[in-house]
Structure 1
Amino acid sequence: MQHRPFSRTGWQVNPIGFGAWAIGADWGAVSDRDAEAALNAALDKGVNFIDTADVYGMGRSEKLIAKVLKSRGGKKDIIVPTKAGRKLQPHVAEGYTIQAITGFVEQSLKNLEVDALDVLQLHCPPTPVYSNTALFDGLEKLVQAGKLKYYGVSVQDVDEAIKAMDYPIVSIQIIFNMLRQKPIDKLFDLAKRKNVAIIARVPLASGLLTGKMKSDTRFGQDDHRNYNIHGAAFDVGETFSGVPYDVGLAAVEKLRPLVPGGTTMAAMALRWILMFDAVTVAIPGAKNVQQAESNVAAGDLPALTKEQMEAVKQVYDADIRPLVHHRW
């Protein structure tokens, strides 16, 4: 799989990156040892894009990344976007001042042990924030001050992504997978025209699209797939892509026959995402070496056939679209 250009930055990124939420928090227990091993395995396989956020373990994810990169001789050409905003208490639009964001940026600079953040993404802010011109002007000043190289947004829905392109952002992070296909209809062509990178998050629908989960699968108390299954902690769309668990399991069984021999459903799900040239990078998480290596290998799978792509669309249209398409 060839690298893909990341907007106007000049960076070329492996289309399979590393999503560092799971090594920070909210996905069950992950030891520092396993987290570091997973990161090293991904980097050894050619990953050069590691996405994180200041709230992933309240700095733990950022610090683990810094430690691993330092042990490998420095950051070099590895791109490490982070996010800010979710530390706000309460998390309301009025809290998104440039003063608050600057404070978060300063802490992330320390955690990541860098002089400038590669990309600072607003972390799924309330919708009114996308009309806050002063905030985006402030982000531009942080670029001029050398605190950021670029900035972008992580969004909950397609309409927010479209609004964000009113500003000189380099990237949009959005949920995109076989169970969340709305970006195809409304976002991708516009992003290509405006040269905005698309970062596909939750690419395996919180593990649903690994094909390994069953109706009796249980998740730990510290796993968002337990405590956020109804959206109690944050937007329910972040957990199983907002698809009811039983509906998701049934859809997976319809998708299973499409998996090519010799590979896995997770690999097919990642390869499906890369069939869309508007996507710059998908960021599956990994809690151990095996997961990290299998994620990266998905990028080298042959292209899916027209028949496979159509079959995925049929499952989505019949079973999933009525539940999620209008919401995000």
Structure 2
Amino acid sequence: MHHRTLGKTGFSISEISLGTWQVGGKWGEPFSDATADAILDAAVDAGVNFIDTADVYGDGASEAAVGRLVRRRSERIFVATKCGRRLQPHTNAAYQPAALRGFVEDSLRNTGLDTLDLVQLHCPPTNVFYRPEIFELFEKLREEGKVQNLGVSVERVEEGLKALEYPNVATLQVIFNLFRQRPAELLFPEAKRRNVGIIVRVPLASGLLTGKFGPQTEFAADDHRNFNRDGTAFDKGETFSGVDYTTGLAAVEELKAVFPGEGALAAAALRWVLMFDEVSCVIPGASRPAQLVSNAAAADLPALTVGQMAAVRDVYQRRIQPLVHQLW
């Protein structure tokens, strides 16, 4: 496993790391603590040393699983969690320092850790980025030893650019993949200039870029790929990167011709993300240990060729860009 520096945190983290939305369940599959523990142990065995979780994943179950992992392993594992999405309603007015402090303290209890390596605001409403008192809170929490670093998970490029104006923002988490290429244009260079680490989520477009889905694929009732295609539950861009499912399938068929072979597209999609030097790590999820092992192997693939990069860009420009590029 290769490592990159996570911006101004100074952490040396695995290029392929792990996102744990699935580890808390809620992806339409039965889940248990044993399954979560097996996935997390497989991650560390594969060289992963950075785990991204959130307090809302399984209502704290994911954070608890990550905490168990840290306590039973001897390796240095960096823990990143998120806060804010528990606010009901999830509005700018609901974002108050006292509420966020309570969420951080809950995360400490959930994980059983004394300090959190990274706490990220969890895709807050855009107006929150214009409130310095929210960002000042995390400086106080850092001084108290409860958190080591502050990051922000964003939906839109414009939110990321605003977050970069705060000196204590050490990381940005953003969707970036073959179907979501806009962040590379302006956000990545500006983050690099400010030494802010980039954490890439949803690299496989909710599984669409695995190439395993088809027109007849069915998703469970409680799987967001079933109920959130129109953005009725949360930002539409989180599900299939906001791409219409049928359009995405057509683009995937073209990409399979660029990267032929069983499982080749998923691996190439992860390797494509790592072609961008500004990226600190990519955090695909895993519902079982085998997926984790397969994802981790993508870090060792050779760099994509000039021809492959051009072919990816062509598919994006023709099929995807007109529909989603300016939305996020």
Instruction: Tell me which interval the TM-score lies in, with the shorter structure as reference length.
Output: over 0.9
Is the Cα–Cα contact under 8 Å of residues 66 and 111 in structure 2 kept in the other structure?
A: yes
Determine the C-alpha separation between the residues in 1 that align with 2:141 and 2:68: 25
Cα deviation 1:238-275 (Å, max 9, x = unaligned): 00000000000000000001216575211110000000
Determine the C-alpha separation between the residues in 2 that align with 1:17 and 1:302: 18
**Partner secondary structure for residue 57 of structure 1:** helix
Determine the C-alpha separation between the residues in 2 that align with 1:200 and 1:14: 12
Query: Quick one: which amino acid aligns to residue 192 of structure 1?
Result: K
2:306 corresponds to which residue? 306
Cα drift, residue 228 of structure 1: 0.8
Identical aligned residues as a percent: 54
Determine the C-alpha separation between the residues in 2 that align with 1:72 and 1:114: 13
Determine the C-alpha separation between the residues in 2 that align with 1:243 and 1:8: 33
1:80 corresponds to which residue? 79
2:242 corresponds to which residue? 242
Change (3 A) 1:292 1:193: same
Determine the C-alpha separation between the residues in 1 that align with 2:166 and 2:148: 15
2:49 corresponds to which residue? 48
1:255-266 equivalences in 2 (<5 Å): 255-259=255-259, 264-266=264-266
Cα deviation 1:276-299 (Å, max 9, x = unaligned): 001100000001111010010000
Cα deviation 1:155-186 (Å, max 9, x = unaligned): 00000000000112110000000000000112
**Structure 1 regions of 5+ residues with no counterpart?**
none
Query: Quick one: which amino acid aligns to residue 151 of structure 1?
Result: L
**Partner secondary structure for residue 83 of structure 1:** strand
Query: Quick one: which amino acid aligns to residue 77 of structure 2?
Result: I
Cα deviation 1:133-163 (Å, max 9, x = unaligned): 1111111111111111000100000000000
Matched, 1:90 2:89: yes
Matched, 1:224 2:242: no
Is the Cα–Cα contact under 8 Å of residues 211 and 263 in structure 2 kept in the other structure?
A: no
1:192 corresponds to which residue? 192
Matched, 1:18 2:18: yes
Determine the C-alpha separation between the residues in 2 that align with 1:315 and 1:31: 39
After the TM superposition, which of the residue ranges 27-36 and 298-307 deviates more from structure 2?
27-36
Cα drift, residue 2 of structure 1: 2.7
Is the Cα–Cα contact under 8 Å of residues 92 and 124 in structure 2 kept in the other structure?
A: yes
Equivalent residue pairs, number = 326
Determine the C-alpha separation between the residues in 2 that align with 1:306 and 1:26: 39
1:71 corresponds to which residue? 72
Determine the C-alpha separation between the residues in 1 that align with 2:140 and 2:25: 32
**Partner secondary structure for residue 271 of structure 1:** helix
1:211 corresponds to which residue? 211
Determine the C-alpha separation between the residues in 2 that align with 1:124 and 1:171: 13
Query: Quick one: which amino acid aligns to residue 107 of structure 1?
Result: D
**Partner secondary structure for residue 86 of structure 1:** coil
**Partner secondary structure for residue 62 of structure 1:** helix
1:54-65 equivalences in 2 (<5 Å): 54-65=55-66
Determine the C-alpha separation between the residues in 2 that align with 1:84 and 1:261: 40
**Partner secondary structure for residue 50 of structure 1:** strand
TM-score when normalising by structure 2: 0.97
**Partner secondary structure for residue 93 of structure 1:** coil
After the TM superposition, which of the residue ranges 169-178 and 29-38 deviates more from structure 2?
29-38
Query: Quick one: which amino acid aligns to residue 186 of structure 1?
Result: L
1:107 corresponds to which residue? 106
**Structure 2 regions of 5+ residues with no counterpart?**
none
TM-score when normalising by structure 1: 0.97
Matched, 1:137 2:136: yes
Query: Quick one: which amino acid aligns to residue 25 of structure 1?
Result: G
**Partner secondary structure for residue 24 of structure 2:** coil
Cα drift, residue 77 of structure 1: 1.4
Q: Cα RMSD over matched residues?
A: 1.2
Determine the C-alpha separation between the residues in 1 that align with 2:223 and 2:36: 16
Is the Cα–Cα contact under 8 Å of residues 120 and 153 in structure 2 kept in the other structure?
A: yes
Determine the C-alpha separation between the residues in 1 that align with 2:137 and 2:119: 12
Query: Quick one: which amino acid aligns to residue 109 of structure 1?
Result: L
Is the Cα–Cα contact under 8 Å of residues 210 and 263 in structure 2 kept in the other structure?
A: no
Query: Quick one: which amino acid aligns to residue 302 of structure 2?
Result: P
Determine the C-alpha separation between the residues in 2 that align with 1:98 and 1:268: 42
